[in-house]
Amino acid sequence: MGLLDFFKKKPAAATPAKTPNTPTGDLSKTAILYHLVQTPKNARDEKWQNTFLENVATASFRCDDPQVQTGPDGFPYLQLHLPEPNTEFNCHVIKNEVNGLLESGLGIAINPTSQGADWVFSYGDILCYQLNNDFYENPNNMFSNKAGKEVLNEAEEVLIAQPSEAILPKASRKVLSEFLKANGIQSPKIMLMSRANNGNISTDLVFNVTEDQCKSEEHFRYVMRSIGWYLPKHYTYISIDDRTLGGFDTL
């Protein structure tokens, strides 16, 4: 989820800013978030989290300079803060900025400070919101429950296809491709693979990432782990050498 220790600073208690220059943000939802963030982090239960997520997408936020900062996990985040009271600000609304975030390869940190953040959305969380209008849930989850390096049985029957725009849009494919190329995967490829597993059909995204393309086993694990930051949390993915199985397409 998003409650990560991040840039560490506790936002000061405040009331929503009253400004005529925020026509696209819902200040009533901003007010709800102001109330919520006064709750100590160790008291933020499931109800708190659900209320936060119900209101965050259309609330009004402001940006600091620089607008984007690299988090301690090494990924870039747009820094959004609740506006200060009685101060004009340039309004940012998450729902209106999803496409730009996906094209730019960014996550979001809400109220990031030197002592933490109230919430952190990965790139994959933003993608999930675009596809499902929800940051974390997908009622039609077709994916299996694993991720990692996979060895296929030669007798195993599999169904291979390419992930549609409804699973992985072009912008996200491009961002993933750039990440993999930057980490030594010269020709990143992808496919969608389904197979029978104890009477059930399991589906995974498959990448042609192998240890011999990486600097070390540790680097391979880093690359595979990092792929998950770019995908919705209910997606599962594996790596298979594209020399042993056909059906891959350029990412």
pLDDT by residue (tens digit) across 22-79?
446 898 999 999 999 999 999 999 999 999 999 999 999 999 889 999 999 999 999 9
Question: Where among 103, 132, 161 does a domain terminate?
Answer: 132
Does the pLDDT at position 148 exceed 70?
no
Q: Once rounded to an integer, what is the mean pLDDT over residues 233-244?
A: 92
Q: How far apart are CA 149 and CA 143, in angstroms?
A: 16
> Residue 193 has what pLDDT?
93
Residue 101 amino acid letter: L
Q: Is the alpha carbon torsion for 185, 188, 189, 195 positive or negative?
A: positive
pTM equals 0.85
Q: Once rounded to an integer, what is the mean pLDDT over residues 151-177?
A: 86
Specify the residue for token string 């800013």. 17
> Residue 111 has what pLDDT?
96
Mean pLDDT of the chain: 86
In a domain, 5, yes or no: no
**Comparison of pLDDT for 200 and 28, the residue scoring more:** 28
**Is there a contact between 128 and 218 (Cβ–Cβ < 8 Å)?**
no
In a domain, 169, yes or no: yes
Pair (125, 160) in one structural domain: no
Confidence of residue 20 (pLDDT cuts 50, 70, 90): very low
Does the pLDDT at position 147 exceed 60?
no
Residue 55 has phi, psi (to 5 degrees) of -115, -15
Q: How far apart are CA 205 and CA 150, in angstroms?
A: 11
Pair (122, 162) in one structural domain: no
In a domain, 140, yes or no: no
Does the pLDDT at position 150 exceed 70?
no
For residue 150, the number of C-alpha atoms closer than 13 Å in the C-beta half-sphere is 23
Pair (239, 183) in one structural domain: yes
- The whole domain housing 201 covers 148-250
In a domain, 227, yes or no: yes
Residue 250 has phi, psi (to 5 degrees) of -60, 130
In a domain, 163, yes or no: yes
In a domain, 86, yes or no: yes
In a domain, 196, yes or no: yes
Residue % of the chain over a pLDDT of 90: 69
Pair (114, 182) in one structural domain: no
> Residue 116 has what pLDDT?
86
Question: Where among 132, 165, 185 does a domain terminate?
Answer: 132
Most confident of 2-16, 80-94, 95-109, 157-171: 95-109
Which range (14-18, 66-70, 149-153, 245-249) has the least confidence? 14-18
Does the pLDDT at position 2 exceed 50?
no
> Residue 145 has what pLDDT?
62
Nearest alpha carbon to residue 227 among 190, 187, 186: 190
Question: Where among 69, 103, 132 does a domain terminate?
Answer: 132
Show the tokens assigned to 225.
């782990």
3-state secondary structure of 179: helix
17-55 burial string, b = 16+ CB within 10 Å, else e? Answer: bebeebeebbbebbbbbbebbeeeeeebeeeebeebbeb
111-146, pLDDT tens digit by residue? 998 888 999 999 999 999 999 999 997 766 778 665
In a domain, 142, yes or no: no
Report how many domains make up the chain.
2
**Comparison of pLDDT for 49 and 3, the residue scoring more:** 49
Specify the residue for token string 């919430």. 119
> Residue 227 has what pLDDT?
98
